[in-house]
Structure 1
Amino acid sequence: MNSTILHGISPTQLQEIIELAIERKLKTPTEKHYISKRKAAQLLNRTVQTLDAWHRAGILRKKHIGGRVFYDANQVESLITNTK
């Protein structure tokens, strides 16, 4: 096992550096989760035509994956929260 000796840094400083690195890593956005157009319509209690209109109005962004339409789950969740 390799060992590293740190000179000029206190255990408290080392702990702060590690905590900062962990905090930054946790704040890094994770991979986006997408849901189908039909599922988004169900969750929002709207028709797929309404979702298309919202996309044209800039309210909801869609993503085409393999010829199908998906929506960002976080954005759909935000719309659910804002419409209540």
Structure 2
Amino acid sequence: MSIPELFAVNDEGETANRLRNDASTICGVPVEEQVPMRSARLEEGKLYRGAVASFVYTDRLRGIPSTGIELIPDASIGGEENHAYTYWF
């Protein structure tokens, strides 16, 4: 089993501009509450928090601005054909 992934998207589900790596730190999630990089480090019963950071260019003519978040679940749960993406706008 792997950890679900979160992506910044626009309102049509296209991948938006995204800051990687330190997004949770930039957004103020304490290190001890951040989702670990490897599923082997997950602890049962522990609440984890994460963040997705996006950005816009000053001229707004480049890139894809974020208007929502897409959650991509672990495809091994229920098989590839049975999982659905979840969006928050």
Q: Name the structure where helix makes up a greater proportion of residues.
A: 1
Query: Shared fold by TM > 0.5?
Result: no
Q: Which has the larger radius of gyration?
A: 1
Structure with more contact order per residue of length (Cα contacts < 8 Å, sep ≥ 6): 2
* TM-score, scaled to structure 2: 0.24
